[in-house]
């Protein structure tokens, strides 16, 4: 129905193509079952993975120092220890608060950040815990970070940190040298279809724009270079409180279903012309804990008919013409924002890359499936583009790793609030 062949009289514009490869497999939990496993295993898996890695780079960092376990610490002896950080937070909300004796007289203000000056860090490995003091800033780190520390045990039994080592950027696959043609990838997030304040026209305009229905030839030319659209979460907003067990009346059913239907119609328009990846987000009809599983196809009877429509996991990882993209719908960065501090979202993003971990706060404060033998959030290979959806505003930064890695970090703003989508050029190496 809709395609790029708009102006058929003039020279036909052909949409460019690229080679797409999904790398979401590790984020799938289809085969996983809840059989009573606990969260200790994912921490264990993480520690094991990261420690092996850190051990391999410690000799380059401080070769003269011995490496210890927490148990092996001796008072006054300088050494390096590797372990999982645990941050004690006074203000951290707890489920036990529900049971506190008295409801406080003043209504609880929803805090957006739970930091407090008294917060402190503890390092833990399988052998034990030790309280940290010294130069490590509690406001930067969160529970679940794995880190190597140089320091010594004080007489008070604390570990005085002198220096810290993070895993750093992982290795990057070589970016291919291609024949020079520009291709674009469009990122959208936070469409929030169904929200009372959202403007359906705005999204329609975007759809028309990227499918080449708008603008002059020049713009259409650009539109034709779009090879992929990625929707990074929070596409719909389902009215709250409808789904609490009682059977729905037909009126409520439609209230529930209307936004999804609307979204499907628009997505159908995109999918008909461009390959489309849709990731679930916190407000979408998907599961809560990370990794979020793909939105079910039955929600999109129209668009799912196209093979260009791909429902993906969150986090989502894919390669386009051998350029690697990795991103989330934003929960990991939101959670870091609650439990640590940074100047901006990009800083948070950069940190996660340097920690080589997408979501260190999972499972502690970020819901997460209790994996037993792996930690899917570990970043094994450095992406070329790292995106996070549902931010307040657009931001980007190009960072370089010690081994020549180059990563583009992108914050995708909420479309419903800003009307901004992000276009990324698959640029060519000079």
Partner 1 sequence: MNSGNSKKRSAAATPSPQQQQKHHAAMEEEDLDEDVFLEETLLQYEEDSQVLRELEESNSIKERLQKWKRPSLSQAYIAQTQSISFQQLEIDYIIAESHKELLPNSSGQAAILRIFGVTKEGNSVCCHVHGFEPYFYISCPPGMGPDDISRFHQILEGRMREANRNSNAPKFVRRIEVVQKRSIMYYQQQASQPFLKIVVALPTMVTSCRGILDRGIQIDGLGMKSFLTYESNVLFALRFMIDCNIVGGNWIEVPVGKYKKAARNLSYCQLEFDCLYSDLISHSPEGEFSKMAPFRILSFDIECAGRKGHFPEPTQDPVIQVANLVTLQGQDQPLIRNVMTLKSCSPIVGVDIMSFDTEKEVLRAWRDLIREVDPDIIIGYNICNFDLPYLIRRAEVLGMAEFPVLGRIRNSRVRVKDATFSSRQHGTRESKEITIEGRVQFDLFQAVQRDYKLSSYSLNSVSAHFLNEQKEDVHHSIISDLQNGNAETRRRLAVYCLKSHLARKLSALVPLQDAYLPQRLLDKLMFIYNYVEMARVTGVPISFLLSRGQSIKVLSQLLRKAKQKDLVIPNAKQVGSEQGTFEGATVLEAQAGFYEKPIATLDFASLYPSIMMAYNLCYCTLVTPEEVRKLNLPPECVNKTPSGETFVKSTLQKGILPEILEELLTARKRAKADLKEATDPRVKAVLDGRQLALKISANSVYGFTGATVGQLPCLEISSSVTSYGRQMIEHTKKLVEDKFTVLGGYEHNAEVIYGDTDSVMVQFGVPTVEEAMKLGREAADYISGTFIKPIKLEFEKIYYPYLLISKKRYAGLLWTNPDKHDKMDAKGIETVRRDNCLLVKNLVTECLYKILVDRDVPGAVQYVKNTISDLLLNRMDLSLLVITKGLTKTGDDYEVKAAHVELAERMRKRDAATAPSIGDRVPYVIIKAAKGAKAYEKSEDPIYVLENNIPIDPQYYLENQISKPLLRIFEPILKNASKELLHGDHTRSISVPTPSNSGIMRFAKKQLTCIGCKTPLSGSDRTICKHCKGREAELYCRSVANVAELENLFGKLWTQCQECQGSLHQDVLCTSRDCPIFYRRKKAQKDMAEAKTQLDRWNF
Residue ranges in contact with partner 1 by CB under 8 A: 30, 33-36, 38-40, 43-44, 47, 70-71, 73, 84, 86, 88, 94-96, 98-103, 105, 120, 122, 124-131, 143-144, 153, 156-158, 238, 243, 245-246, 248, 253, 256-257, 260, 285-289, 296, 298-299, 363-370
Task: Identify which of residues 363 and 389 has a Cβ nearer to partner 1 in the complex.
Answer: 363
Least Å distance, CB 159 to partner 1, is: 9
Cα(278)–Cα(297) distance, rounded to whole angstroms? 11
Least Å distance, CB 333 to partner 1, is: 18
Q: Which of 167, 195, 227 is closest to 19 using CA atoms?
A: 227
H helices present in 117-212, as ranges: 200-210
3-state secondary structure 42-110: HHHHHHHHHHHHHHHHHHHHCCCCCEECCCCCCECCEEEEEEEEEEECCCCCCHHHHHCCCCCCCCCCC
Task: Identify which of residues 355 and 386 has a Cβ nearer to partner 1 in the complex.
Answer: 355
Are residues 242 and 252 in contact, defined by beta-carbon separation less than 8 angstroms? Answer: yes
Least Å distance, CB 149 to partner 1, is: 14
Helices (H) and strands (E) in the chain, counts: 7, 17
DSSP-derived pairing of the beta strands 146-153 and 128-134: unpaired
φ, ψ of residue 338 in degrees (nearest 5): -80, -30
Least Å distance, CB 405 to partner 1, is: 30
Task: Identify which of residues 15 and 131 has a Cβ nearer to partner 1 in the complex.
Answer: 131
Task: Identify which of residues 126 and 162 has a Cβ nearer to partner 1 in the complex.
Answer: 126
Token pair of 159 as six digits: 């570990």
Least Å distance, CB 34 to partner 1, is: 4
Task: Identify which of residues 290 and 323 has a Cβ nearer to partner 1 in the complex.
Answer: 290
Least Å distance, CB 101 to partner 1, is: 7
Least Å distance, CB 273 to partner 1, is: 24
Q: Which of 188, 246, 186 is closest to 414 using CA atoms?
A: 188
Cα(123)–Cα(70) distance, rounded to whole angstroms? 8
Least Å distance, CB 119 to partner 1, is: 11
Task: Identify which of residues 131 and 397 has a Cβ nearer to partner 1 in the complex.
Answer: 131
User: Which residue's entry shows tokens 């010594």?
Assistant: 152
Q: Which of 337, 334, 323, 317 is closest to 377 using CA atoms?
A: 317
Task: Identify which of residues 9 and 373 has a Cβ nearer to partner 1 in the complex.
Answer: 373
Q: Which of 96, 171, 153, 84 is closest to 121 using CA atoms?
A: 84
Task: Identify which of residues 171 and 254 has a Cβ nearer to partner 1 in the complex.
Answer: 254
């Amino acid at each position: 129905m809709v395609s790029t062949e708009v102006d058929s009289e003039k020279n036909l514009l052909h949409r460019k193509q690229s080679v797409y490869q999904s790398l979401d497999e590790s984020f799938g939990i289809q085969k996983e079952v809840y059989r009573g496993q606990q969260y200790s295993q994912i921490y264990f898996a993480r520690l094991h993975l990261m420690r092996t890695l850190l051990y391999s780079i410690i000799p380059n960092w401080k070769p003269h120092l011995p490496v210890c376990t927490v148990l092996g610490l001796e008072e006054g002896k300088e050494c390096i220890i590797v372990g999982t950080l645990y941050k004690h937070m006074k203000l951290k909300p707890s489920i036990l608060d529900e049971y506190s004796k008295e409801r406080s007289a003043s209504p609880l203000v929803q805090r957006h950040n739970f930091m407090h000056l008294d917060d402190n860090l503890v390092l833990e490995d399988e052998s034990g815990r030790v309280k940290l003091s010294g130069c490590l800033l509690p406001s930067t780190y969160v529970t679940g970070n794995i880190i190597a520390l140089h320091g010594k045990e004080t007489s008070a039994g604390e570990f005085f940190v002198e220096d810290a080592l993070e895993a750093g950027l992982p290795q990057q696959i070589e970016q291919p040298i291609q024949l020079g043609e520009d291709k674009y990838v469009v990122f959208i997030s936070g469409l929030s279809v169904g929200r009372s304040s959202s403007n359906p026209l705005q999204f329609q305009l975007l759809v028309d724009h990227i499918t080449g229905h708008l603008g002059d030839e020049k713009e259409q030319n650009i539109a034709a270079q779009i090879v992929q659209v990625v929707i990074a979460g929070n596409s719909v907003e389902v009215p709250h409180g409808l789904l609490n067990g009682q059977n729905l009346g037909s009126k409520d059913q439609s209230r529930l279903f209307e936004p999804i239907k609307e979204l499907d119609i628009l997505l159908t328009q995109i999918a008909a012309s461009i390959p489309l990846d849709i990731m679930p987000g916190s407000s979408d009809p998907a599961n809560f804990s990370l990794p979020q599983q793909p939105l079910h196809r039955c929600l999109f009877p129209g668009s799912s008919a196209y093979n260009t429509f791909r429902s993906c996991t969150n986090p989502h990882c894919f390669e386009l013409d051998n350029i690697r993209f990795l991103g989330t719908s934003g929960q990991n960065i939101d959670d870091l924002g609650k439990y640590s501090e940074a100047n901006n979202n990009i800083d948070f993003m950069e940190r996660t890359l340097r920690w080589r971990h997408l979501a260190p706060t999972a499972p502690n404060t970020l819901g997460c499936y209790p994996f037993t033998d792996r930690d899917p959030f570990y970043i094994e290979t450095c992406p070329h583009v790292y995106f996070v959806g549902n931010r307040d505003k657009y931001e980007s930064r190009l960072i370089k790793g010690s081994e020549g890695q180059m990563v583009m970090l992108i914050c995708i703003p909420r479309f419903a609030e800003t009307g901004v989508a992000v276009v990324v050029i698959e640029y060519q190496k000079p």
